[in-house]
Homo-oligomer: A and B are copies of this chain.
């Protein structure tokens, strides 16, 4: 263990991440990350908050998502390329860095493709703790791709969801999701239509992947008292819900300026009222008021959630030993003698 050696940065590879998650347990990881997110959301005013910095191309987008709480700085690199799947690549891949604000040195580099799936599900389930109707035990999941099982397990561990009603335009995706969850303690129903999926569900999770305006849920599908966890609409021009659902719902968001650009509420006027979840978590605003209210979490994914997830992983390194040391920071003996350090390396050739 050489975390004290500042020229060396611990790196958590994809393989390390899988081993950390399996050693801790999937549900325990989801719960642990949710705790870190809740802790960070409750100290909201400590954080630098900026919308993500996006570089758009015809094929997709590459984004940087930085934030800082004044002691640690973190950023995530993440791409979104909807056409990747057809070519055998991941639609979304990610990695991230935590740094020490006091000297600017990185303290963790980590894969975040897997970690992003965990933090997204952890955020959804954490938010639902405040918004879902009491005693909710049945959830519809519309969109059964890479994120779906993580959502299911997040809601199981944090809300006690036991029944899943799955739908995807591709039945093979539903089959895959059901197969992955077969021994996880759910009662799983594979549905043929979105209408069938939402029947009797008190939580509706939408998590589809098209980069376009589409209408996964129409107004008549959403009954009173339901909590909608809208995860898939997360960039300009990409939404999942019919506008009429939005106007019937109380809308909760992560960070308003970003959600206005990327979320379902890009369909509404810029002054449509929304509540930020940190306000609910701190008890400053009400979450669910009664059992008839429709609550909507318009999730787009915010930098603080990645920051919290990286903090969680960093705190598992000692315990699991799952990382390797990267020689990424030049560290000359005399800090002014970078050139001399390079020249002296000749001796090692």
User: Chain A: residues with CB nearer than 8 A to chain B?
Assistant: 6-7, 11, 13-15, 17-19, 21-23, 26, 48, 50, 53, 55, 57, 59-62, 64, 66, 68, 70, 73, 75, 77, 79-81, 84-85, 87-91, 93, 95, 97, 99, 101-106, 111, 113-114, 117, 144-150, 173, 176, 180, 326-332, 334-343, 345-346, 349
Please measure, in the bound complex, the distance between the C-alpha atom of A151 and the C-alpha atom of B57, giving whole angstroms: 36
Give which listed residue, B11, B50, B147, B335, contacts A53 with CB less than 8 A. B50
Would you call the interface of chain A mostly helix, strand, loop, or mixed?
mixed
In the complex, what residues of B have CB within 8 A of residue A13's CB?
326-328
Shortest distance between the CB of A90 and any CB in chain B (Å):
5
Please measure, in the bound complex, the distance between the C-alpha atom of A349 and the C-alpha atom of B80, giving whole angstroms: 31
Residue in A84, A97, A328 with the greatest tally of chain B CB atoms within 10 Å:
A328
- Pairwise interchain contact B85-A104, C-beta atoms closer than 8 A: no
- Pairwise interchain contact B57-A101, C-beta atoms closer than 8 A: yes
What 14 additional pairs, Cβ within 8 angstroms, besides A14-B328, A81-B102?
A7-B14, A14-B327, A15-B327, A18-B341, A26-B342, A59-B103, A60-B104, A62-B68, A79-B99, A84-B104, A85-B335, A111-B329, A111-B330, A180-B343
Q: Which residue of B lies closest to A83 (CB)?
A: B103
Please measure, in the bound complex, the distance between the C-alpha atom of A288 and the C-alpha atom of B148, giving whole angstroms: 62
- Pairwise interchain contact B345-A101, C-beta atoms closer than 8 A: no
